[in-house]
A and B are shown apart, each in its own frame.
Chain A
Amino acid sequence: MIPPNVGQIPPELGLFATIFGVFATIFIYSFLWKENPLSRAVEHLFIGLAAVFTLGAMYDAALTQAYWGTDRIIEGNFMWIIPILISLMYFFFFSKKYFFLYRYPVSIVAGIMAGMMICGQIQSNFLVQIQSTVTLPLVGEGVWEGWPPPGLDSIIIIIGIITALSFFFFTWEHKGALGISTKIGRYFLMATFGAAYGGTVMARLSLFIGRLTFLYQTSYEDWFWAWYLIPIAVICVIIVALWERSKPTPTPPTPETKPTRKGKSE
């Protein structure tokens, strides 16, 4: 087994991570008050790191998939050189004359994904959904017992699906029976969006709670550094904000006065 790449991290880097994390968090949150140089700086750093991380992952993926893996180049299966050569055609993206060569690997990937999409969507998102709607229980033992009875739920779901689908029929005008159907369908869709809204609020609050957990509960060697670093970070933000405010605002250029036909300025 390949031993994992360990032992490179000195323990003191844990303190550096805590300090950086607190300052980065407070600097980004200062954006809520007003955009400022510190929040902008952290956002730009974030973009740079993200790009290199993606590169690292792709590099590893290509190397392990093509070379190091079981039954790959290192074990004599040279078939795996072909996708590497095809992937190099992506670099023609930067050429004006040979840009069309960039389209070849893109076409391969797009074609495969389109074919996969057809098969996957038909089976799982279309046929199975229709099948499970058609097979909802309406009769049988226990279907109309309890509250709410499963049979009532089934009827509500069937009505909801049919009316919500009718909302997307744009071939005919939404009048008469279709108008009533689309109106009911719209209410079901609003219930869907309401559930989505509830989920969105839950999720976004959880993100924020996660950051508070770091700020209040992260410790390095049993010392809650964050509690003491937060005021320092806030002071940094205030100093930078006051410095920005004290900078003279550049005056906008005055419009040039153009002479009129009779020689008078406007």
Chain B
Amino acid sequence: MSVTVKRYIPLAITFVMGIIMVIATYFLAEGTPERYATTQLTATVDIIVATAGVIGLVVLLRHHGLNISRRGRFWKYSTITIIGVVLYLIVGLYGIATHEQHLMYASELFSWVYMNIYVHMDMTIFSLLAFFIASAAYRAFRLRSLEATILLIVGTLMLLGRAPVGATLWEGFPTIAEWLLNVPNAAGTRAITIGIAIGAISLAIRQLMGIERGYLGPER
């Protein structure tokens, strides 16, 4: 297949779609049929990306299936992954069979498994960060420079100001924490926000112009 079909047509599609969005925002009034058409276009994106969920599952199954067949590292745990996928898929298919509109995510048993099985694991894995933060606070945060000192002092005042114990120790802590949040933090964050905005705009323009092509995937 020619380079035009493989590379240049996708780049052209990207450019056209992006320009349509910019024109719709700045040149088409709300309530006009043209603006409604662009809203329909964005609504279709929701359906277009739906297949990505299938791709993700297939890639996961392929990775772990290969690991099992080659007796790779932790292949027994890959078995657990695949068993979990199969069992939850069975629950989902049961939901599709019993739901009036054959929905999976909205079926009761599928949601129940998510809220009562998956949620415990998700919450616990993320809660490990609390321990790592405590360890880092003790072993890594050193007052080696003025900048580090400012960082730790502000962080400490924030911790004291945002919990009831701070107000119990001294009534000024919540006020100081609020001032730190509203003034110096807002100043620094606003500068970062403006910088990120400039970067994001330039990256989006580069993508529309076809200079950034990473999203197209590898050349095959």
Contact = CB atoms under 8 A, between A and B. Distances in A.
Interface of A: 2-9, 13-14, 17, 20-21, 24-25, 28-29, 31-32, 40-66, 68, 79-80, 82-84, 86-88, 90-91, 93-94, 96, 99-100, 102-112, 114-119, 121-122, 125-126, 129-130, 133, 148, 153, 156-161, 164-165, 167-168, 185-195, 197-202, 204-205, 207-208, 210-211, 214
Nearest to A191: B184
B108 to A, nearest CB: 5
Contacts, number: 420
B196 A125 contact: yes
A121 B50 contact: no
Contacts of B83: 45, 48
Nearest to A67: B101
A190 B80 contact: no
Given A42-B121, A100-B5, A157-B187, A28 B17 contact: no
Contacts of A159: 187
A90 B52 contact: yes
B80 A108 contact: no
A48 B61 CA distance: 9
Contacts of B138: none
B47 A201 contact: no
Give the contact-size bracket for chain B.
35 or more
Interface of B: 1, 5-7, 9-11, 13-22, 25-26, 40-58, 60, 74, 77-78, 80-85, 88-89, 92, 95, 98-110, 112-114, 116-118, 120-133, 137, 146-148, 150-159, 162-163, 177, 179-198, 200-201, 203-205, 207-208, 215-217, 220
Nearest to A89: B51
Chain B contact residues, majority secondary structure: helix
Contact of B108 (A7, A82, A157, A198): A7
Contacts of B21: 111-112, 114-116, 118-119
Nearest to B14: A111
Contact of B45 (A56, A80, A108, A164): A108
Contact of B187 (A17, A45, A49, A156): A156
Contact of A49 (B11, B84, B162): B84
Contacts of B26: 119
Nearest to B157: A198
- Give me the 9 closest cross-chain CB pairs, A-B, nearest first: A160-B187, A115-B21, A198-B158, A111-B17, A194-B154, A48-B84, A192-B188, A58-B53, A164-B191
A48 B124 contact: no
A201 B155 contact: yes
Contact of B48 (A14, A32, A108, A129): A108
B55 A185 contact: no
Nearest to A103: B10
Given A112-B45, A114-B208, A119-B26, A208 B130 contact: yes
B217 A106 contact: yes
Contacts of B191: 160-161, 164-165, 167-168, 185, 188-189
B124 A29 contact: yes
A186 B176 CA distance: 21
